[in-house]
């Protein structure tokens, strides 16, 4: 086909593919423009573990989980905390619509496209311990069979098929530098053609310019992602008054091309970009021993059992336990004045609760390998886990607590732990394990979580003393902040049309995915319950594609 198109999609990630799928189903012509090469088709979604937020699903019901739209919406809105009249006006409407999608059409929509789920539902962001506060009241994280790569394939296949029919043209290595706006309407994009490259997925690519381009269409859809790979931009929007100073050092959970450029370009063109101070970063980052992009970190997905200490050896206060309240924990850790914290675990805890985020770290799900999946019912002996334990620079493994603390101090010589303090925290915790009941709120949470059978079988070790030799050796994990998702973004209507800073709609300009805060400029608000964020890309990309297919001439 020629460069003539009905819609220009800026960004070849998941939201862009979903929108292109919906547009081509309606016979619309699409040009997909992306600054990376074809190997990066699908964007960040490829690296995801593949979790999907679903409500009252067949998987939940088979496990005896009683969920509903009303309960999920109450959880979502309490967690989001939308409190800005102008910036959150559309975000809240998107939140209500998204939870409705998760409770309704989301699963059948994906099932019709061939996506399948593992019959185990995970429980993340368990909350702050109040029925009206942040957190998932019940397990809602559904694991995709095939993880993130399968989610990408689900939409990549029909889009590539549409390209063969002449409905889609890919413009790889085309970096958009400007939106073309004429008479107040977005009519196209201009930018630079970058030097061709054969770099593998995720590896930083050269930025040498070899030409320029201009493309025009009836509408432009921005699906270019967030800013997690751009630490300078992250620091510029860091909410110091709310979270304290940004860490001096951060790990990076996304490739370098997740740079936030289109957010700035949209704002310069007159689009409303809101809530960029809302970020969903992880406290449990470890440096990847085999990095793909600069500063590559991997998130440790903890069960609720590890003892969490700050950099000085003090136990984090309730309810700041592993897997409970990410943002509140981040706020507390930033108040300590240090950029790292520690998990102390036994080997028995590691066997059950040392899980890693990402498709490459979960070969059982990614490779659809049932034999490997069964290992989750036994021990975490998959190769990526063993590799991190053996080669990760943030891991210390010792037989005794005194030698463990010595090893921890070797890693962080500028912030040395006092052994007596660590020993007091460990001993106090261990005294509470003697009975099946306790005044220790973390142990209460462990017992509560193990009442849910899949967590008991697959995810959570039986409560035991850290200093019980039968469960040794001891393992310490240094944790640092890991950048990941941008919760704010381009403000849009419920049809994904971009709003101007004045509040009027921006003719011809649309946005979806992380670039739009997953819808409306931030449907998650301050806290996220979803997990991998794939669902928000699917929903907003679908909404944008359907709206454009319906409304264009």
The pLDDT tens digits of the residues spanning 404-457 come to 999 999 999 999 999 999 999 999 999 999 999 999 999 999 999 999 999 999
362: left (phi over 0), alpha (psi -120 to 50) or beta: beta
- Confidence grade of residue 3 (pLDDT, cut at 50, 70, 90): low
The pLDDT tens digits of the residues spanning 467-511 come to 999 999 999 999 999 999 999 999 999 999 999 999 999 999 999
CATH of span 5-225+487-552: 3.50.50.60
Mean pLDDT across 339-359: 95
The pLDDT tens digits of the residues spanning 59-118 come to 999 999 999 999 999 999 999 999 999 999 999 999 999 999 999 999 999 999 999 999
Structure tokens belonging to residue 101:
């999608």
The residues with which 342 forms a beta bridge, in sequence order, are 309, 478
The pLDDT tens digits of the residues spanning 10-26 come to 999 999 999 999 999 99
* C-alpha span between 489 and 45 (Å, rounded): 18
The pLDDT tens digits of the residues spanning 206-229 come to 999 999 999 999 999 999 999 999
Strands 279-287 and 474-486: antiparallel
- The pLDDT, as a whole number, for residue 96 is 98
Mean pLDDT across 363-369: 93
Mean pLDDT across 123-128: 94
* C-alpha span between 367 and 360 (Å, rounded): 10
Structure tokens belonging to residue 336:
């300590």
Residues 6+ apart with CB under 8 A from 348: 461, 462, 464, 471
Which residue is associated with the tokens 């003697």? 434
The domain ranges of the chain are 5-225+487-552, 287-482
Please tell me whether residue 362 adopts helix, strand or coil conformation: coil
This prediction has a pTM of 0.97
Helix (H) or strand (E) holding 35: none
Fold of 287-482: Flavocytochrome C3; Chain A, domain 1 (3.90.700)
Residues 6+ apart with CB under 8 A from 52: 106, 110, 117, 141, 142, 143, 144, 531, 532, 534, 535
- The pLDDT, as a whole number, for residue 1 is 37
Residues 6+ apart with CB under 8 A from 105: none
């Amino acid at each position: 086909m020629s460069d003539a198109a009905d819609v220009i999609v800026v960004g070849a990630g998941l939201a862009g593919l979903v929108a292109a799928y919906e547009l081509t189903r309606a016979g619309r012509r699409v040009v997909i423009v992306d600054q990376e090469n074809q190997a990066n088709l699908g964007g960040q979604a490829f690296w995801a573990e593949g979790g999907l937020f679903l409500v009252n699903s067949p998987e939940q019901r088979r496990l005896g989980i009683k969920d509903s739209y009303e309960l999920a919406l109450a959880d979502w809105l309490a967690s989001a905390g939308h409190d800005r009249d102008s910036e959150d006006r559309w975000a809240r409407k998107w939140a209500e619509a998204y939870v409705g999608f998760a409770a309704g059409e989301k699963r059948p929509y994906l099932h019709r496209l061939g996506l399948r789920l593992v019959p185990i539902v995970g429980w993340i962001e368990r909350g702050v311990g109040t029925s009206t506060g942040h957190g998932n009241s019940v397990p809602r994280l559904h694991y995709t069979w095939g993880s993130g790569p399968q989610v990408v394939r689900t939409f990549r296949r029909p889009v590539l098929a549409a390209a063969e029919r002449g409905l889609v043209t890919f413009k790889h290595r085309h970096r958009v530098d400007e939106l073309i706006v004429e008479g107040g309407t977005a009519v196209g994009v201009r930018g630079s053609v970058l030097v061709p490259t054969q770099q593998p997925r995720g590896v930083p690519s050269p930025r040498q310019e070899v030409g320029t381009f201009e493309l025009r269409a009836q509408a432009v859809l921005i699906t270019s992602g967030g800013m997690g790979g751009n630490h300078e931009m992250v620091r510029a929007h860091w909410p110091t008054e709310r979270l304290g100073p940004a860490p001096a050092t951060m790990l990076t959970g996304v490739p370098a091309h997740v740079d936030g450029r289109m957010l700035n370009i949209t704002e310069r063109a007159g689009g409303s970009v809101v809530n960029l101070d809302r970020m969903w970063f992880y406290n449990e980052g470890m440096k990847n021993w085999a990095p793909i992009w600069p500063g590559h970190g991997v998130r440790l997905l903890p069960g609720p059992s590890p003892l969490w200490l700050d950099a000085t050896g003090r136990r984090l206060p309730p309810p700041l336990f592993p897997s409970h309240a990410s943002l509140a924990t981040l706020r507390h850790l930033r108040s300590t004045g240090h950029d790292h914290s520690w998990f102390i675990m036994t080997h028995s805890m590691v066997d059950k609760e040392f899980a890693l985020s990402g498709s490459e770290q979960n070969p059982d799900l990614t490779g659809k390998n049932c034999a490997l999946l069964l290992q989750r019912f036994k021990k975490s002996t998959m190769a990526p886990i063993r590799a991190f334990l053996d080669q990760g620079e943030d891991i210390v493994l010792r037989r005794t607590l005194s030698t463990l603390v010595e090893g921890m101090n070797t890693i962080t010589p500028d912030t040395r732990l006092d052994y007596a303090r660590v020993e007091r925290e460990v001993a106090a915790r261990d005294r509470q394990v003697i009975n099946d009941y306790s005044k220790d709120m973390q142990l209460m949470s462990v017992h509560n979580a193990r009442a849910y059978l899949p967590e008991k079988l697959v995810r959570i070790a039986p409560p035991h003393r850290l200093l019980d030799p039968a469960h040794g050796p001891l393992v310490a994990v240094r944790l640092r902040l890991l950048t990941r998702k941008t919760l704010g973004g381009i403000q849009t209507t419920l049809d994904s049309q971009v709003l101007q800073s004045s509040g009027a709609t921006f003719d011809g300009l649309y946005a979806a995915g992380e670039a739009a805060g997953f819808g409306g400029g931030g449907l998650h608000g301050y806290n996220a319950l979803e997990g991998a964020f794939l669902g928000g890309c699917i929903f907003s990309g679908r909404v944008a594609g359907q709206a454009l297919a319906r409304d264009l001439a």
